[in-house]
Amino acid sequence: MNYINKEIPDFKLEAYQKGELKEVSKSDLLGKWSVIFFYPADFSFVCPTELSDLQDSYKDFQAANAEIYSVSVDSQFSHMSWAETTDTIGKIEYPMLSDQKHQLTDFFNILDEESGQAYRGVFIVNPEGIIKSYTINAMGIGRNAQEILRTLQAAQFVAENGDKVCPANWHPGEKTLKPGADLVGKI
């Protein structure tokens, strides 16, 4: 299924964030850009490297009016225990969502039935709840927070400047393109 320009579903998930248990729903995502970041499991191997990488760039995501929501099928209590016992995870400031009932995992169709874990999916959602970018990786392939941030910034640029597009490796402030006959065969 293609998720581009699809609206995220209504959901209500338990979460852990900075020492507190809370609830996160679709309404919490509306009004700002969101990065929904699925990972396979707490207390694992590649996952803490990715979550730490996101935390290292968290202020950049916030400066871009975006919130990160990490998601696994582990419980919010597992997230809490992982944060309390692991320095790498203990520094995370963004919400860690528990999708034990597979509300989002099933919608995005990223559950590996054999392991019972979510694949490594990243979904960039605009302030209206519409998916503008996504990638899904196999379990052993870690992701790069700076590339996710760059993709978010490109999605934001295109949303604000619909007549212009971002070329490969574009970063804010760099030259963009305005599609038209004058560019055909000249790029």
For residue 180, the 8-state DSSP code is: S
> 53 Cβ partners below 8 Å, 6+ apart?
143, 144, 145
Which residues on adjacent β-strands are paired with residue 165? 177
What is 20-84 written as a DSSP string? EEEEEEHHHHTTSEEEEEE-S-SS-SHHHHHHHHHHHTHHHHHHTTEEEEEEESS-HHHHHHHHH
Element (H, E) at 185: none
Q: Which of 47, 51, 68, 122 is catalytic?
A: 47
47 is catalytic: yes
Report the catalytic residues.
Answer: 47
